[in-house]
Amino acid sequence: MHAKVANARADFQHKLALDLVRRFDYLAVGNVSAAKLARTRMAKSVYDASWSSFRNKLRYKAIAHGATFEEVDESGSTQSCSACGSKDSTTRPKGIAGLRIRAWTCSDCGVAHDRDVNAALNILRCGRASPGVGIRCL
């Protein structure tokens, strides 16, 4: 049973990684530490997701297809406003309690954010702002 689930997960990851590198020539991903998250109450979900395995598949498929793969520091990506860059918004999600907040509005510029979309935009901006820092795939 476990082997079947592991094979299905690996197959899905291969197909998703291939789809992404075929559609995009630049991929920026956050440097999520599965080891650190595994020490939290989300451990089971973290292990089940196989994040580092997917990141590795995405990296080597990017190399094979000539895409740029970049791993960037994701710290604060959910808390910074992707519209104005504010890190001091009084309404931003903070700490462990902030993990439950899925949507928030920046108190500085008034832009409404979905937590995940906001983080993705911040990770993309961080990656684009540091040319040559990531892994250029030839």
> Mind listing the pLDDT tens digit for each residue in 28-42?
998 877 666 666 666
In a domain, 107, yes or no: yes
In a domain, 137, yes or no: no
In a domain, 31, yes or no: yes
In a domain, 101, yes or no: yes
| Stretches in the chain below the pLDDT threshold 70 | 34-49, 96-97, 130-138
Count of domains in the chain?
1
Note the pTM of the prediction, 2 decimals. Answer: 0.72
Q: Are 54 and 10 in contact (CB under 8 A)?
A: no
114, amino acid identity: D
In a domain, 133, yes or no: no
In a domain, 35, yes or no: yes
Question: Residue 22: which domain range?
Answer: 2-128
Angle at 108 between CA 104 and CA 110, to 5 degrees: 55
In a domain, 135, yes or no: no
pLDDT on residue 46: 62
